[in-house]
């Protein structure tokens, strides 16, 4: 196994997340896409750590841990916003939240 395979898996995961974020209009689906992209980034961190010259430094592992923590915070805030928006406009479609459009 080479680093290429892991990076390719991560790239495919990232592309899935990107496609979901761009093409779905449901705010929760957009969030799911973002989570997939974050997962792809974490996979890259761990993969590069595994193939690094000095794995004892554990930089990639620690970065992945911090990134997971940030992702958790992002999910909590994102879903709170979705619930608030739903309460105001009775919809979770991103297109319906267009009050600021001129």
Q: ∠ CA 1-69-32 to the nearest 5 degrees?
A: 75
Minimal distance, residue 59 CB to other proteins, in Å: 9
Smaller CB separation from other proteins, 13 or 100: 13
What three-state secondary structure class fits 35?
helix
Q: CA 88, CA 92: separation in Å to the nearest integer?
A: 10
Residue identified by tokens 């779905």 is 24
Of 22 and 99, which CB lies nearer to other proteins in the complex structure?
A: 22
Minimum separation from the CB atom of position 11 to other proteins (A): 4
**Minimum distance of other proteins from residue 78's CB (angstroms):** 9
Please state the closest distance from residue 88 (CB atom) to other proteins, in A: 10
Reference 68, options 30, 41, 32; nearest CA is: 41
- Cβ closest to other proteins, residue 56 vs residue 100: 56
CB atoms within 10 A of CB 13: 19
């Amino acid at each position: 196994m080479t680093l290429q395979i892991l990076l390719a898996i991560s790239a495919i995961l990232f592309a899935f997340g990107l496609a979901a974020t761009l093409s779905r209009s449901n705010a929760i689906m957009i969030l799911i896409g973002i989570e997939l992209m974050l997962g792809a980034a974490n996979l890259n961190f761990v993969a590069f750590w595994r193939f690094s010259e000095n794995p004892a430094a554990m930089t990639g592992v620690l970065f992945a841990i911090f990134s997971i923590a940030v992702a958790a915070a992002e999910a909590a805030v994102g879903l709170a916003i979705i619930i608030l928006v739903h309460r105001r406009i009775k919809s979770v479609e991103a297109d319906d939240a267009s009050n600021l459009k001129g």
